[in-house]
Structure formats: C-alpha cells, structure tokens
Amino acid sequence: MKRNERIDRVELMRTFIRIVESGSLSAAARQMETTQATISRRLQSLEEMLGAKLLLRSTHAMKLTDDGERCYQHARQVVDSWLALEDALQITDEQPVGTLRVRAPHAFGQQQLLMPLVGFLARFPQLSVEWMLHDRAVDFISDNVDCAIRVGADVDPATVSVLLAEVPRCIVATPALLSGYATVTEPQQLSMLPWVAISTFYQHEVVLHHHGDQQTANVAIAARLSTDSLYVAKNAALAGVGAAVVSSWTVEEELASGQLVELLPAWQVTPLPVHLVYPWARYYPKRLRKFLDLMREVMPQIAGMRQPEKDISDKSSG
C-alpha cells in the first residue's frame, strides 16, 4: 500500500508540474490525454495531502501561491530524481524505454531523416517515437515535445542547442527562364530575374559570399511567389516561376538532368545550421540522450549535409 501511495504522489506531482508549465488545467488534460475533471481531482488531492493551497484560479487566470511555487520547485526535483531511478532500474543493456516526442521540418522529416529513424527504432525495440513534422518554431510545453530538429533557425538561449551539421544551398533556375534574360555573370544581375522566396529564410534580399575571397554581395530580389515550404519553392522553380535558393540536396537530380541550372556557383549562399534543440532540465531521459547520440553520428553523413565549420558542441546561443 505504501508503494502505491508513493507512485500516486509522483503522478500527482507530475500533474501539478504539467498544470503550471502548460498554463491551465485544460491544457494539462490535453497533454496528458485525460479529462480536465481528472486533472482537477489530482490537484485537489495534492493540495489536501500537503495541507496547502497551491493555485489561485479565476475564470480567465491562474496564479501560483507562495506554497505552490515552493511545491513546483520541489516537485521538479522529485520527478527528475524519479525519472533517473526509473532509467536505472528499468533499462537493461542500455535499452531506453518509453516514448520520445520529436519535431522535425517537413522536408528533412519526410526524406533525409526517415531511414536513420527507422534504424533507431530497430536498435531500441522498447522505445516508441512520435515523429511530428512542422516548420514553425516549437513551444516545448504547449506542443508537448521532448526535442526538435531545427534548420536555419535562431537559437533560443532558453534551450540547449546542439549543432549537428550544416546544409549547403545553391541558386537555381530553369534553362527556359534564363533564356529570356542576359547571362548572369555577376551577383547584382540576379535582381533582374523573377524569384521564388522561402519566407522563413529570405524574402527581399539574398546575401552571397565569394568562394575564393572575402567578398560579400547583397542582392535585392522581387518575389513573384513567397512560400514557407522548401518543396513548394523547388517545384515552383522547376515550373519556371522564378529563381530560388534551395538546399542543394533537394535538387541534385534536377541539376544532373539539366532541368535546373545552378547560377553563380563561385558565389555561395550561407549554409543553414542544423540543431537539435531541447529544454534545459536537471535530468534528461536515456531515450533523449540516445537520440542525441544518433543525430550527432548520422547527421553530418546524410546526403547533402556536411560537417559544420566549427566544432559540434552544446550551446545556448549562436
């Protein structure tokens, strides 16, 4: 009976942490896949067990009491310690268990990272992965995500950000489109072309760096189509809508077949950094640590990726 009580207490603390971090009982219920009534009962049980009011709630707001703030801080320590104990006792032969929730960009998640993920699941049969594809910025609390793979995004100093690799990019257009314009031999001539912009990376300007020296060129562009999808940009460029800056790996076949032409190969667009990002915590489950190990190992080897110029390391900025 005592053991059951201890388990119940850990679950109550987990629930309280989720309420605080998600911002409401209803959000906590969605993330824990239960009802709001259940969450409310757990909160009430914890308050009765501790003999203290932990939350002040109104119709539109929720606020921690002083006791609630102390409870939250202690609960995080207890739950982190409990997770560490579960890892130590339940894992045999370094096998992680449970569910890892990962967010990845659509293009990467559908193609480049799928086979490494399949191998990861085969290697750890007791582990499940929720593989969610989205290009927008991740909110670890509201999205209920353990980690995210981000391409080209600014690093949030509130998170741990591990630089894994970088993605070379190139400027492409169809021969048919280029036939209607003077041959492009200098960066500023790119401005005369129609463009397809990837709004998350560039919209009104393309910055180029000369491969042989330190020259930099800022080229103003006018987008006929702007999109947040790498695949839409590539396919629009193939359809002759305009020139586009795309990840080199997405157009290897089209460049080889002559469907697309690379413009000014001596001038490079800055490669996009690829990071694995996750929230700061006192304890990281083995399933997250193993996934990080996998990404460190395979990301620079994936077709179209390359080792970053600076060392791969955990960073909270840059």
Q: What is the pLDDT of residue 314?
A: 40
Cα pseudo-dihedral 128, 31, 92, 102, rounded to 10: 50
The pLDDT of residue 312 is: 36
HSE (CB half, 13 Å, CA atoms) of 97? 11
Residues 247-271: b if buried by 16+ CB within 10 A, e if exposed: bbbbbeebeeeeebbebbeebbbbb
| Cβ(125)–Cβ(311) below 8 Å | no
Distances from the Cα of 305 to the Cα of 107, 128, 236, 313, angstroms: 13, 26, 23, 17
DSSP 163: E
Q: Give the pLDDT confidence score for residue 188 in this predicted structure.
A: 95
Quote the pLDDT of residue 310.
Answer: 52
Q: What is the pLDDT of residue 309?
A: 66
Please name the residues in contact with 56: beta carbons below 8 A apart, sequence gap of 6 or more.
Answer: 62, 63, 64, 65
pLDDT digits 0-9 by tens, 216-226? 999 999 999 99
pTM, two decimal places: 0.67
Q: Max Cα separation, the chain?
A: 83
Task: Please tell me what DSSP assigns to residue 191.
Answer: G
Query: What is the per-residue pLDDT for 75?
Result: 84
Say what the pLDDT of residue 86 is: 65
pLDDT value, residue 315: 39
Give CA torsion, residues 40, 45, 47, 49, to 10 deg. -170
Determine the pLDDT at residue 1. Answer: 37
Positions of the chain with pLDDT under 50:
1-7, 92, 311-318
Provide the pLDDT for residue 260: 97
List CB contacts of 30: < 8 A, sequence separation 6 or more. none
CA dist 112 → 102, 133, 299 (Å): 15, 13, 9
Q: How do residues 42-91 score in pLDDT, each as one tens digit?
A: 888 888 888 888 888 766 677 888 888 888 888 888 877 777 676 666 55
